[in-house]
Chain A
Amino acid sequence: QSALTQPASVSGSPGQSITISCTGTSSDVGSYNLVSWYQQHPGKAPKLMIYEVSKRPSGVSNRFSGSKSGNTASLTISGLQAEDEADYYCCSYAGSSTHVVFGGGTKLTVL
């Protein structure tokens, strides 16, 4: 069982927006603005999409955005495209003992 809870799957049609939630606790997501999001296509390595809750690395489309409220972080993808179909994982700092926790992953299907 993963430390951070994500929905197993979400879906949307091309052009629509979807949001993936990542629920933790006051010991991880709720205490630190150190949440990152990764996109993983089948058979490929994860790719950084968002860091520090809402910052986008150079080269990542501005259709991807991140936010946080309390113990829940969210990844929003606007203007869905077929290439966005992938698994998405959240990750958070969890303090000096546990260090790092991941979510269980969410499979995004573009209908």
Chain B
Amino acid sequence: QLQLQESGPGLVKPSETLSLTCTVSGGSISSSSYYWGWIRQPPGKGLEWIGSMYYSGSTYYNPSLKSRVTITVDTSKNQFSLKLSSVTAADTAVYYCARHIFRGGGWNWFDPWGQGTLVTVSS
């Protein structure tokens, strides 16, 4: 059974870079059928797609965050990572990683999801 687990600092200072890692178990991140994505949810608010990537390194980002986001992969560790630069309090959120399906000519569903990790931006 495929499982994903986020990890990283729970507190980041304003203007610094948020860094999170998602470890995939029960399956290979190098599978040719799947992409891998990050989604966030500010406290009490809705979901926002951050970006997704393929194991080959191809990346796709939310246009509103593109200038600050980098998603990378480490296939040897079966992990992919998120970096979000120049963070502010507005970036405080629960960050989820998930497998992202591209099928039917476009981005399709997210499944499964990691449990999520809360990142607070504060000095």
Interface residues of A, Cβ cutoff 8 Å to B: 2, 32-34, 36, 38, 44-48, 51-52, 57, 89, 91, 93, 95, 97-105
Residues of chain A within 8 A (CB-CB) of B115 are: 44-45
Task: Known A-B contacts: A48-B110, A101-B49. Give 12 more (CB < 8 A).
Answer: A33-B104, A34-B105, A34-B106, A38-B47, A46-B47, A51-B101, A51-B108, A89-B46, A95-B106, A98-B63, A102-B46, A105-B47
Q: Does chain A have a CB within 8 A of B16?
A: no
Number of residue pairs across A and B with beta carbons under 8 Å? 69
With A36-B109, A52-B108, A91-B110 as known contacts, state yes or no: A99 contacts B116, CB within 8 Å.
no
B109 touches A45 (CB 8 A): no
B109 touches A51 (CB 8 A): yes
Most buried by B among A46, A93, A95: A46
Residues of chain B within 8 A (CB-CB) of A89 are: 46-47
Interface size in chain B (residues, C-beta < 8 A):
24
* Chain A to chain B: the 8 pairs with minimum beta-carbon distance, closest first: A93-B106, A51-B109, A48-B111, A100-B49, A45-B113, A36-B109, A102-B47, A105-B46
